A and B are shown apart, each in its own frame.
Chain A
């Protein structure tokens, strides 16, 4: 690992992967019995990109994400994440990615410091690395005075920002964010996105799902899943052009409304 001086920690490029593509999926498919949850999705994500992964409930986002995180084996197709194969090297994938969701992020009954130590320890970071970087992060979050407080005593917005810092503490190549800003107030939501931008500038690739369509605008590129397939993938401005829409909200509605297995069309839901 490179220098641990405060300034360099965030700017150090993640190790292990080559520049260029960090996620590559080719006809990746997952079937449960005769139900095809993810249907031959193909796409690439580049290093340092903020990749928005959108889709209606039930479109297959979670299943696709689980395959990319090495948590679920695909039925067919190929996939490489952080340079590793999704079939054979899923343990290596887990070591080289970060993950955060709205539902589960930190242990509420541990202190701020204990949470950081716990997660960093899981990823096998040295005591010196953990000590230096903990100081840096607490300073960055203006949470020096909260270091020994229980996480459950913190306001929700602080918790979500801390959770993000913890998810990228081990300097993963990619971080997967599953609805990270749900229920967060509008100011904190924007602070959270400025942290995402900083992480992306430091070279960490961001893979993010959200139900807030204004957040889709903050992404470098956006994919929209419909019925297990990726029906659209482009920059937000190009998507708006292609679908002759004024906003990403409109693009999303145009695509998602034609879904056969949408929530509002239960007769076709599996």
Chain B
């Protein structure tokens, strides 16, 4: 455990990161602040270009911030980087193990660097490592995507870190493997490891204890997934009809509808607070066949869209 704030595994204060020169500078992080409590699964949720990877690279001491401060496990990411490196595990978005070393050689390599052995921490990695152990002599480059992921996670955990950083572990992974990966994370949480995980998939927010929704270097909201949903105060109607394209246009043209967009099988219509359900129904019935209209609860994705600044919605 670190010496600083025992309750907080990560403290981030006004973090800023720029890339490039004066004229075409890219603002990757525009003053980000949040904290992560010990033992939490904290999700950083946002699309590509939100700043997720820059943030993770700063917190794992691989990149220097331009402004602001971050404390990880009680240590400063700039001054005490060596301490932090012993205490965190990092799984980058891109597979970055040694492709021409075998499964076991990779794991032994990382264990040795951190002055430990596979045996010493086997209980911690057992969940991820035992399914690939029968292939321990196979070169890492020859593994399937799911097996690479399990090996990468084993290597990130082999020194028993107190905080684990997972940068987009489920990107490009199919729905079944994604579910299984999250089940593994839940079990890891029981070992009292703090987990920071980033993802572009909004539906994964519900699997985190708390989430930060992030877009273009700015945090839109930080809370538990349920609170973020509770904070969405406007009513949402779900609608479906024989011609979904026409239905969408009809919804957009109705004056009590603030915003309407496709949402899987139904369209979602964000309504003004004083809307009249019956007049909406009558209006839509005149123009659509097989109309189905019902109240629905907002989803994290509804929240994300309503929190996005208007200027970016036009992009």
Residues of A within 8 A of B (CB): 55-58, 142, 153, 155-158, 179, 182-188, 190, 193, 197, 201, 211-214, 217-218, 236-237, 247-249, 252-253, 256-257, 259, 262-264, 266-267, 269
Q: Give A179 to B112 CA distance when docked, in angstroms.
A: 39
Asked if A179 and B172 sit within 8 Å, CB to CB, the answer is: yes
Q: In the complex, which residue of chain B has the Cβ closest to the Cβ of A183?
A: B48
Q: Give A155 to B308 CA distance when docked, in angstroms.
A: 15
B143: which A residues are within 8 A, CB to CB?
Answer: 266
Residue among A252, A253, A262, A266 with the highest chain B CB neighbour number at 10 A? A266
Asked if B264 and A211 sit within 8 Å, CB to CB, the answer is: no
Asked if B177 and A185 sit within 8 Å, CB to CB, the answer is: no
With A155-B49, A217-B264, A247-B265 already in contact, the answer to whether A187 and B308 are too (CB < 8 A) is: yes
Interface-located stretch among B130-138, B158-166, B186-194: B130-138
The 5 closest A-B pairs by CB, nearest first: A263-B146, A214-B264, A185-B47, A183-B48, A56-B174
With A182-B171, A257-B176 already in contact, the answer to whether A269 and B147 are too (CB < 8 A) is: yes
* B contact residues, range: 35 or more
Q: Give A182 to B261 CA distance when docked, in angstroms.
A: 19
B315 within 8 A of A: yes
- Known contacts A57-B145, A157-B315, A184-B200; 18 additional CB pairs below 8 A are A57-B146, A156-B49, A157-B47, A187-B261, A187-B308, A187-B313, A211-B175, A214-B263, A218-B262, A247-B264, A256-B176, A257-B176, A259-B176, A262-B146, A263-B145, A263-B177, A264-B177, A266-B146
Asked if B313 and A184 sit within 8 Å, CB to CB, the answer is: no
Asked if B265 and A211 sit within 8 Å, CB to CB, the answer is: no
With A266-B131, A266-B144 already in contact, the answer to whether A183 and B200 are too (CB < 8 A) is: yes
With A185-B308, A247-B264 already in contact, the answer to whether A264 and B176 are too (CB < 8 A) is: yes
B261: which A residues are within 8 A, CB to CB?
Answer: 187, 190
**Residues of B183-209 contacting chain A, CB below 8 A:** 200-202
A183: which B residues are within 8 A, CB to CB?
Answer: 47-48, 171, 200
A257: which B residues are within 8 A, CB to CB?
Answer: 176
Residue among B143, B147, B176 with the highest chain A CB neighbour number at 10 A? B176
B305 within 8 A of A: yes
Asked if B175 and A253 sit within 8 Å, CB to CB, the answer is: yes
Q: Give A242 to B162 CA distance when docked, in angstroms.
A: 47
Q: Can you show 17 pairs from A to B with CB atoms below 8 A apart?
A: A153-B24, A157-B47, A185-B47, A186-B47, A186-B301, A190-B261, A213-B264, A236-B265, A247-B265, A248-B264, A248-B265, A253-B176, A256-B174, A263-B176, A264-B146, A264-B180, A266-B146
A184: which B residues are within 8 A, CB to CB?
Answer: 47-48, 200
A157: which B residues are within 8 A, CB to CB?
Answer: 47, 315
User: Quick one: CB contact mask for B112-134 with A, threshold 8 Å, 1 for yes?
Assistant: 00000000000000000001101
B75 within 8 A of A: no
A266: which B residues are within 8 A, CB to CB?
Answer: 131-132, 135, 143-144, 146-147
User: Quick one: CB contact mask for B140-159 with A, threshold 8 Å, 1 for yes?
Assistant: 00011111000000000000
